Amino acid sequence: MDNPLDKVCEQAVASEGNECPEAHPYQPPPGVSYREPLPVIELSSMMSDMYIDSQAGGSEEDEPPMLKPRGEMFEQIETQITKLSSALQTLQTEVQMLKNDFMASNDSLVNREACFRDAIDQRFEALERGMNRSLTRLETEMVNCLKRHDEHWKKEMSRVKMTSTPLSPRPFSHSFTMAILMTQGCYTWRHNINVLPSPSCLHAPIKEFVGEGARQVKVKTPDTGQLGRTCDWMLLADLNQRLCFPHKIAVTNLRPDLVLWSSTLRTVYIIERTMTWEDAVEEAYKHKSLKYAELEADVEQRGWKAKVCPVDVTCRGFVGKSVIKIIKDLGIRGQAQGQAVKALSSAPEQVSQWLWIKRRDIGWAL
């Protein structure tokens, strides 16, 4: 079968009275190159296959043939369109399924997070209830223990025929027990037993007698400190709460443990003893220093040189640095210094041991 496009071209040339020009190959412009020539012939044949001639065998004078689409091609196109529609529907179905899966997963995550939060809240509530029960049980046990302890002391009080004290309106309470210990002077005894150092530490060494014909051994004169500078040193100790601060130095109601002063040097040492646990040494030192700061300023305004010296010796015999400092300042050195530190350390240790041994004996008195 002849190509319909060729027939149309021949009819157009014949009507003009000219012959069909020869086909010239396509020449690209200068400087432009193509990999392959345009497939014009193949494209024309594919387009011509889609049409048929309605008047086969017509003359040249007749009208140009009418081109009509071929039925088979339409059927194929419809088939392809149907397949594409089916594929599109399938794709839409898959997209909808993915969307549903995503929504379900999102809802599952939200539900899981909510369940996790609820579980945490329930766990915390259970822990809080358990802690409250434990605290309640602990409080009950402590109360029962204190009641049993009070019953024990009640029996002891009945045994020694002691029913009341002016320091405690409740006869069988713990405050009553502490009142008895304080009135007996247990803790004051431990504090006052070591206020003064050993007298042997303050005595000057005795000069040895040198016989006839013997050579005297040269001894280096030690530094006597403040005590060796004058002989008018006076000492007051607060025993049984009877100390009265010297009025010529200052007027105050405070009663330090020791007051050491010299009118010649116009120097006064305000010594305060602290008897605490090892953990409270620093706090006690600051407290005593602040307690006598105003008195120190008043003494200095009167023309005296005042030194506030908190002495830290714990209830188990630990001697603080403040003790060594005041001993050296007073002129106690060498072997005498060691003896003084040992005496200050051993006394509270022995007293604490005695108090521990007598802790159950409420009838002993000092």
* Number of Cβ within a 10 Å radius of residue 296: 18
Write down the residue that tokens 């247990």 correspond to.
186
If you average pLDDT over residues 21-40, what whole number do you get?
Answer: 48
Q: Which two tokens stand for residue 297?
A: 């300023």
* Number of Cβ within a 10 Å radius of residue 201: 19
Query: What are 299-305's contacts with CB under 8 Å, separation 24+?
Result: 299/249, 299/250, 299/268, 302/249, 302/250, 303/266, 304/249, 304/250, 304/261, 304/266, 304/267, 304/268, 305/265, 305/266, 305/267, 305/268
Q: pLDDT band for position 53 (50/70/90)?
A: very low
Q: pLDDT band for position 189 (50/70/90)?
A: low
The DSSP letter of residue 257 is S
The answer to whether residue 252 scores a pLDDT higher than 80 is yes
Q: pLDDT band for position 353 (50/70/90)?
A: confident
Number of H helices, E strands in the chain: 10, 6
If you average pLDDT over residues 196-205, what whole number do you get?
Answer: 48
Higher per-residue pLDDT: 197 or 71: 71
If you average pLDDT over residues 307-323, what whole number do you get?
Answer: 83
Q: pLDDT band for position 288 (50/70/90)?
A: confident
The DSSP letter of residue 165 is B
Q: What is the pLDDT of residue 351?
A: 77
The answer to whether residue 147 scores a pLDDT higher than 70 is yes
Output the average pLDDT for the chain.
70
Higher per-residue pLDDT: 154 or 14: 154
Q: What is the pLDDT of residue 43?
A: 47
The DSSP letter of residue 253 is S
If you average pLDDT over residues 269-283, what whole number do you get?
Answer: 82
The answer to whether residue 84 scores a pLDDT higher than 60 is yes
- pLDDT above 90 coverage of the chain, percent: 2
Q: What is the pLDDT of residue 314?
A: 81
Give the whole-angstrom CA distance, residue 175 versus residue 149: 13
Higher per-residue pLDDT: 207 or 196: 207
The answer to whether residue 309 scores a pLDDT higher than 80 is yes
Cα torsion 13, 16, 17, 21 to 10°: value is: -40
Nearest to 258 by CA among 295, 336, 310, 301: 310
Nearest to 225 by CA among 346, 344, 307, 310: 307
Give the whole-angstrom CA distance, residue 358 versus residue 325: 35
Which of 203-207, 324-328, 333-337 shows the lowest mean pLDDT across its residues? 203-207
> For 234, phi and psi rounded to 5 degrees?
-120, 145
Q: What is the pLDDT of residue 68?
A: 47
The pTM of this model reads 0.42
The answer to whether residue 26 scores a pLDDT higher than 50 is no
